[in-house]
Structure 1
Amino acid sequence: MPAINHNSRRKFIRDASLSATGFFIVPRHVLGKGYIAPSDKLNIAGIGVGGKAEVNLPYAYNKGSDNIVALCDVDDRQAVNGRKKWPKAPYYKDFRQMFEKENKHIDAVIITTPDHMHAVMAMAAMQLGKHVYCEKPLTHGIYEARMLTQAAEKYKVVTQMGNQGSSGDDTRRIETWVQGGLIGDVHTVHVWTNRPTWPQGIPTPKGNFAIPKELDWDLWLGTAPKRDFNPGYLPAIWRGWVDWGTGSLGDMGCHFIDVPYRALKLKYPVAVETSVGSVYTGFFQEAIYPDSYPPSAKTHIQFPAREGMPAVEMIWYDGGIRPKRPVELLPDEEMGEEDGGIIFEGTKGKIMAGLFGRNPTLLPTRLMKETNLPSSKYEFVEGGTEGHQQQWVKACKKGYGAYTSSSFDKSGPLTETVLMGNLAVHSYNHFETDAKGNKKFNGRKQLLWDGENMKITNFEPANQFVKREYRAPWKL
């Protein structure tokens, strides 16, 4: 018989005593391989249960590695699948009631709602000390993005925006290639998307419709102005409406623009201008539908020199508009991919890529075989784009300061840049009044931006779109 280790025996008696009083947590190694102790699980609440949440919540839950402890959705129809998957999770329609009643059970929150509610939900969660995963775009407006960026630091919580491409291998490869000077100094970037794939540039729908009994329409409107319910707004069609969505830029800009934003170490832009597709109702009769984003747009965003890199122009195209085909691309070679693409133009060459920076390719394409491509200097994320949610979950367990690919200190400024395009779109059809009281159509000018102070310096009417007014009683 082996000798008795009295220190171990005393430790056993102490631990047994603690166990009897209910304070002993069994170590993971005692429970067996593959068992995850309750203390090692993150308790997650989901605000918005349908749509993209049907990806975010299961990826975070990870087959039971963590807990979904509460669910919230203003529309019971959207929540059906989530409530079936997690039947024990309490269900609420108002996220404020959920926080009030479930606060002590919640460690972290995943927000998957229309854009106009992201800011107030994320802010409320952070003020309670909850870690936050918020779908892209981070916010509906520029001011909101700045406030969330500052709040994440103030409340010391782990954050992540839902642009999963930021965790992808190809994003890191492009960063390495560009910053390593593979194509010289980049002076122009073209970014385009096939969105919108929903109605835009259309008149506000009319008619009287009963609100579905499953939907709390007033809660769905939230911070937005009061508007009568119309089935033409839901479920995902809200993206094209100014009150709730952020159009093609908000939907895809945070995916596509993120790649050059990182590779070129971009910060606040200094100028923006746009032109938008027209809608005609008759012979030379152009229609303006201010409630809806235009059917297409081309937007130029200027960035200053920074960190040894020269000034760069980013050009965004949506609604089917694309940049000129590079001369280096053969006639039968695909430009980008179905969702859109990215082209970096440098002093020594070009790089082309698709959504999330997929399939990064030197142009002409034969260079991919002729060039000794450097390995990524940035560490790959486990699981790549599909590990984006789990990366956040693991970081939450480590605590504030743990790395995430799209933490608010990175995704906040990115979102501000994306929304600069929408600011220009909103300003496009606005007039200003001169000293004599005459109205002057100046919306189609280049807007100069003071990023630190969040202010257009040469066209005051545009500043109304930096910070929107909330419907009472909502506040940020």
Structure 2
Amino acid sequence: MSKKISVMDRRDFVKKSGIGLFGAALAPSFLSNLNAAGRLRTAHIGLGGMGMADLDAISSHELVDVVALCDVDSINLAKAKALHLNAKTYADYRELLRDMGDDIDAVIVSTPDHTHAPASIMAMELNKPVYCQKPLTHHVSEARAMNKMAAERNLVTQMGIQVHSFYDYKLATLLIQSGIIGKVHTVRAWSPKNWGYDGPGPTGSDPVPSTLDWNLWQGTAAERPYKEGFYHPGNWRKVMDYGCGTLGDMGVHIFDTPYNALQLDVPETILNECRLPTGFGFPEHNIVTYEFPGTDYTAEKLKWVWYDGGGAPSNHLDLVLPDGETLPDQGAMFMGEKGRLLLPHFQQLPRKIVDGKYVEMDIESFNLGKPVKDYDAESKKHYHQFVDACLGKGETTAPFSYAARLTETILLGVIAGRFPNQTLHWNSKKAKFDEKEPNEFLDGKYREF
């Protein structure tokens, strides 16, 4: 049987995990084990679709040894084990970390969103570097706690936003920061993906597949009956208890470059135009408007509008392209003093627009080399960057210090979806809304399991 954890308020959990209780100093065992053989021993928690992609990319580094694999689905676990015959296997990440704490150097967390923080925090308690899939956490309080713990323990961390390291996104960052369109006053970003569900919650229950440990899959989330087709393996992103909707999936990727390029902090106000909440699934269509304080690269205030769901975005003059061209399915548009910059998602070069016409740009001056359109090669750079940083070679570009702020921004928009058409005011210093009701959703309860 898996060892149970106590029921506690998430707020209490993350406070205890972020300060004092476990100590902030690096353990000698961590310092001596890491790099002992000049290689990195990795443990992988979550081996579903993205988990297998993460496993493939991390293990492709020539200095990585995969020593532990964990998944609540025995089918996923068997597939991964067939690729790494010497790795030990587990269904419960807590057992893995307790049993193999001295025999692993880094942990990769690729679970559904609601397990990101519990697994990552436990790994960081053992002073292990962590690569965690996006969005970093399911709750704002968890993002702040993970950032705090990583900083106090001086751990190498990276959030799984692999396109962060792609050629076209690095180029867009350099272009914006060079002032190519002047100070930016508005960003509009969009994705037609639909990780929402407007229907009623399921009733009744279905038999749990013999290959799935449903209790472990739910983890710290509230217990509910298993229903085929609603949660595992593919639809959990649509459900409030487990995922973060389209904003938490594609939004993290598409927000990333503008957020990084403009050096934004967290927003001051958030408004989500969507249907009334159902208490079960996220809205299928969202228009989220953020207002950020200004930076060196923006006007005094920055307006950011996100559209998702089928048909996104709505028609707007900011998004009209030259010669009647159709917008890319997903992407972002920067509006500045000197024109606009279109950034498709992804592996398409950014394009400058002035007075309704495309304008040529000198991209050779940025010394990035020739454009790359090889997803497999490009995506592995982000993973290998983490491995190299763990081995003392360079730093990561999406550490938790950055990822926590970006995730907090995303999650504030997700929370605003529970209060449609109401402007929410965020106090970053106090880590709370001025409005009382939304603060309920900054954290929650951890279930005993």
Query: Normalising by structure 2, what TM-score?
Result: 0.85
Paired with 1:358 and 1:164, the residues of 2 have a C-alpha distance of 15
Could you tell me which of 319, 322, 343 is aligned with 2:313? 322
Q: Which residue does 1:50 correspond to in 2?
A: 48
1:335 aligns to 2:312 (yes or no): no
Change (3 A) 1:377 1:456: farther
Q: Which residue of 2 aligns with 1:202?
A: 199
CA distance in 2, matches of 1:295, 1:308: 33
Preserved CA contact (<8 Å) 2:190 2:313: yes
| Greater relative CO (CA pairs within 8 A, separation 6+) | 2
Superposed CA offset, 1:85-123 (max 9, x none): 112211101111111111111000111100000001101
Residues 176-187 of structure 1: matches in 2 within 5 Å? 176-187=174-185
Task: Report sequence identity in percent.
Answer: 34
2:429 alignment counterpart: 452
Q: Quick check: 2:196–2:239 contact (8 Å CA) kept in 1?
A: no
Q: Comparing 375-384 with 321-330, which one deviates more in the overlay?
A: 375-384
d(CA) in 2 for partners of 1:356 and 1:128? 36
Matched residue type, 2:437: P
Counterpart residue identity of residue 292, structure 2:
F
Counterpart of 1:322, as a letter, is P
User: Alignment partner for residue 464 of structure 1, among 408, 425, 440?
Assistant: 440
Distance 1:449 1:366 in 2: 38
By how many angstroms is 1:63 displaced?
Answer: 6.4
* 3-state DSSP of counterpart to 1:104: coil
Partner of 1:66: 64
Q: Does 1:425 align with 2:417?
A: yes
Contact 2:39 2:64 in 1 (8 A): yes
How many angstroms does 1:313 deviate by?
Answer: 0.5
Q: Which residue of 1 aligns with 2:221?
A: 224
- Contact 1:427-1:461 within 8 A present in 2 as well: no
Q: Paired residues, what number?
A: 406
5+ residue gaps, structure 2, are 1-34
The Cα of 1:377 is off from its aligned counterpart by: 7.6
CA deviation vs aligned residue, 1:122-175 (integer Å, no higher than 9, x gap):
011111011100000000011111111111111221111001111112222112
Structural mapping, 1:318-397, within 5 Å: 318-320=308-310, 321-323=312-314, 324=316, 326=318, 329-336=321-328, 338=329, 340-356=330-346, 358-363=348-353, 367-369=358-360, 371-373=361-363, 375-376=365-366, 383-397=377-391
Which secondary structure state, in structure 1, belongs to the residue aligned with residue 409 of structure 2?
helix
Matches of 1:454 and 1:378 in 2, distance apart?
39
Cα offset for 1:212?
Answer: 1.3
Match of 1:14 in 2: none
Amino acid at match of 2:122: A
Amino acid at match of 1:452: K
- Out of 392, 397, 412, which is 1:398 matched to? 392
Change (3 A) 1:352 1:67: same
* 1-structure distance, mates of 2:250, 2:297: 29
Q: Do the aligned partners of 1:255 and 1:356 also contact (CA within 8 Å) in 2?
A: no
Q: Which has the larger radius of gyration?
A: 1
On the 8 A contact 1:149/1:409 being kept in 2, the answer is yes
Q: Write the deviation string for residues 196-223 of structure 1: whole angstroms up to 9, x where unpaired.
A: 1x56112111232111122111111111
Q: Which runs of 4+ in 1 moved over 4 A?
A: 325-328, 377-383
Which residue matches 1:11? none
- Stretch moving more, 221-230 or 356-365: 356-365
- Residues 65 and 267 from structure 1, CA distance in 2 versus in 1: closer, same or farther, beyond 3 angstroms? same
Q: Partner of 1:290 in structure 2?
A: 279
| Secondary structure in structure 1 of the residue aligned to 2:143 | helix
Residue identity matched to 2:379 = T
The counterpart of 2:147, out of the listed 132, 146, 149, is 149
Deviation at 1:277, TM superposition (A): 4.3
The 1:327/1:83 distance shift into structure 2, 3 A limit, reads: closer
Residue 398 (structure 1) shift: 0.4
Q: Tell me, in whole angstroms, the C-alpha distance in 1 between the residues paired with 2:84 and 2:363.
A: 46
Q: Distance in 2 between matches of 1:384 and 1:63?
A: 14
Answer yes or no: is the 8 Å Cα contact 2:77–2:89 preserved in 1: no
Distance 2:149 2:308 in 1: 32
Indicate conservation of the 8 Å contact 2:221/2:446, yes or no.
yes
Contact 2:44 2:55 in 1 (8 A): yes
Stretch deviating more after TM superposition (52-61 or 327-336): 327-336
Once residues 384 and 297 of structure 2 are traced to their aligned partners in structure 1, the CA distance between those partners, rounded to angstroms, is 35
The Cα shift of 1:384 comes to: 3.5
Note if contact 2:333-2:343 (Cα within 8 Å) is conserved in structure 1.
yes
Shift of the 177–123 alpha-carbon distance from structure 1 to 2, 3 Å rule, reads same
Residue 214 (structure 1) aligns with = 211
In structure 1, give the amino acid aligned to 2:333: I
Name the CA shift for 1:297/1:455 in 2 (closer, same or farther; >3 Å).
same
Partner of 1:350: helix, strand, or coil?
strand
In the TM superposition, residue 306 of structure 1 has moved relative to its aligned partner by 2.5
Distance 2:265 2:61 in 1: 38
Structure 2 distance, partners of 1:238, 1:327, is 32
- The AA in structure 2 aligned to 1:468 is G
Which residue, 113, 128, 142 being the options, matches 2:126? Answer: 128
CA–CA distance in 1 between the matches of 2:205 and 2:382?
42
2:438 partner letter: A
Match of 1:384, SS state, is helix
Contact in 2 for aligned 1:142/1:416 (Cα 8 Å): yes
- How does the TM-score come out when normalised to structure 1? 0.81
Distance in 1 (alpha carbons) for counterparts of 2:158 and 2:268: 26
CA distance in 2, matches of 1:115, 1:354: 26
Match of 2:32 in 1: none
Q: In the alignment, residue 392 of structure 2 is paired with which amino acid?
A: K
CA deviation vs aligned residue, 1:401-446 (integer Å, no higher than 9, x gap): x411211111110000011110101233xxxxxxxxxxxxxxx321
Contact 1:171 1:358 in 2 (8 A): no
CA offset at residue 50 of structure 1? 2.0
Cα deviation code 1:230-261 (max 9, x no counterpart)? 11212120000000000001111110001110
Three-state SS of the structure 2 residue aligned to 1:153 is helix
CA 1:376/1:290 → structure 2, altered by over 3 Å: closer, same or farther? Answer: farther
CA distance in 2, matches of 1:229, 1:250: 23
CA distance in 1, matches of 2:267, 2:368: 25
- Aligned counterparts of 1:243 and 1:307: Cα–Cα separation in 2: 38
